[in-house]
Amino acid sequence: MDLKIDPRILTSPSTQPNVNRKTKDLESLRESSREFETLFVMEMFKAMRKAVPEGGLFEKSQSTEIFTEMMDMETAKATTQGKGLGIAEAMYKQMAKLVDMKKETL
């Protein structure tokens, strides 16, 4: 006798309790806010780099541009770890109210 359970049944939205949905939405909102702050800081680094005149010892090649972009992204991630600049937290606080209001109307 084969008693295998289809995994789609366990993960279908109809079987999950609706109570945890708000928690998942808030966690997703927090992560999205943090990612937005990271992208914002990365764009800020790009703008600061453009303000510096080019020149120096080394020629600017495609590989140095790629390395610089990767370094900026990692620096932005490190900058926004923990409390970060506060942009993500401010966005989260504003949007969390909207998530609460949305759940009340449903």
Q: What is the predicted pLDDT for the residue at 73?
A: 93
- Whether 19 is covered by a domain: the verdict is no
- Whether 99 is covered by a domain: the verdict is yes
Q: Is 36 exposed, middle or buried (0-12, 13-18, 19+ CB in 10 A)?
A: middle
**62 token code pair:** 């495609």
- Whether 11 is covered by a domain: the verdict is no
- Whether 72 is covered by a domain: the verdict is yes
Number of domains in the chain: 1
**34 token code pair:** 């943090």
Q: pLDDT tens digits for the chain (106 residues)?
A: 556 666 666 565 555 555 577 888 889 999 999 999 999 999 999 999 889 888 777 778 889 889 999 999 999 999 998 888 999 999 999 999 888 777 666 6
Query: pTM to 2 decimals?
Result: 0.70
Domain that holds residue 102: 31-51+60-106
User: Are the C-beta atoms of 103 and 22 separated by less than 8 Å?
Assistant: yes
Q: What is the largest CA-CA distance in the chain?
A: 75
- Whether 106 is covered by a domain: the verdict is yes
- How many residues are recorded in the chain? 106
